């Protein structure tokens, strides 16, 4: 799964790199420890008559399907599995028409270390320093008990099988889209399920670097930039 990540790049730079036409709806501030329920930056394409606008906006992390009775459902849907995203009732409609990209600077996973009770948190990011483009889905939801309530937009990160670098740490990793596939993925009019499923593959191992970070990241209330710094551990050689 992907349960924590880093979003530290300024909104203006994200908008430029993802060719965004409009920044709207309170984009998220820099955060070195993004946790579920947080507002996250999401890139999506919206069709308006004959035109399509690419927007960057802040959505709630944890997808809430339109049929949900309350927001708590989203707590179980921070991730969607690539293997079932086209068929599972919570995601299949969004998979066909409401796909998005969640930009990230890095993500965290926790590795079991022999002889230690506590898992070692690891940071995973691109070697070249470029942003990661997580494949995601988004949805609209409004409280069924409040017909006049505002619509809440939420998102989930799609995960798939790990590559060779991630596999020793975790059995899942976010699906990361290359720039050549962004337009196809974001196009709300493109609904070829088989073609879309073909995009949900593991990113090449050589793109990534992995290193241990402080256990401070375990605290979801700690958002310090220090969390992304490498720490030295006695097990470091076996962790990498």
Q: How sure is the predictor about 82, in pLDDT bands with cuts at 50, 70 and 90?
A: very high
The mean pLDDT value of the chain amounts to 93
- Is 109 labeled as catalytic in the residue annotation? yes
Q: Please write the tens of the pLDDT for every residue from 6-44.
A: 999 999 999 999 999 999 877 888 999 999 999 999 999
What percentage of the chain has pLDDT greater than the value 90?
A: 82
* Rounded distance between C-alpha atoms, residue 168 and residue 237, angstroms: 13
What percentage of the chain has pLDDT greater than the value 70?
A: 96
* Rounded distance between C-alpha atoms, residue 109 and residue 146, angstroms: 38
Domain 5-109+128-162+172-209 has CATH 3.20.20.80: no
Residue 220 CB-density burial (10 A; 0-12 exposed, 13-18 middle, 19+ buried): middle
Query: Is the pLDDT reported for residue 237 higher than 80?
Result: no
Map tokens 């309170």 to a residue.
26
Give the DSSP H or E segment for 186.
helix 182-186
Of 57, 100, 109, 139, which residue is the catalytic one?
109
Residue of higher predicted confidence among 102 and 115:
102
Backbone φ and ψ of 167, nearest 5°:
-55, -40
Of 2, 57, 100, 139, which residue is the catalytic one?
2
The full set of domain ranges for the chain reads: 5-109+128-162+172-209
What is the maximum span of the chain, computed from C-alpha positions, in angstroms? 61
- Is 57 labeled as catalytic in the residue annotation? no
């Amino acid at each position: 799964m992907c349960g924590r990540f880093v979003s530290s790049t300024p909104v203006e730079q994200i908008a430029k790199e993802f060719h965004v036409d409009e920044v709207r709806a309170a984009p998220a501030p820099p955060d070195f420890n993004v946790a579920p329920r947080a507002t996250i930056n999401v890139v999506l394409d919206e069709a308006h008559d004959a035109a399509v606008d690419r927007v960057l906006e802040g959505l709630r992390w944890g997808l809430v399907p339109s049929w949900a009775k309350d927001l708590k459902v989203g707590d179980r849907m921070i991730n969607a599995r690539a293997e079932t995203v086209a068929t599972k009732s919570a995601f299949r409609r969004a998979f066909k028409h409401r796909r998005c990209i969640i930009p990230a600077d890095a993500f965290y996973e926790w590795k079991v270390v022999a002889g230690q009770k506590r898992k070692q948190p690891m940071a995973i990011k691109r070697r070249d320093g470029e942003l990661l483009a997580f494949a995601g889905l988004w949805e609209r939801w409004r409280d069924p008990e409040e017909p006049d309530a505002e619509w809440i937009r939420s998102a989930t990160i799609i995960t798939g099988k790990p590559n060779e670098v991630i596999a020793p740490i975790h059995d899942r990793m976010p699906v990361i889209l290359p720039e050549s596939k962004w337009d196809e993925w974001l196009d709300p009019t493109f609904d070829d399920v088989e073609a879309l499923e073909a995009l949900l593959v593991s990113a090449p191992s050589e793109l990534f670097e992995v290193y241990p970070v402080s256990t401070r990241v375990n605290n979801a209330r700690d958002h310090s930039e220090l969390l992304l710094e490498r720490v030295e551990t006695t097990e470091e050689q076996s962790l990498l």
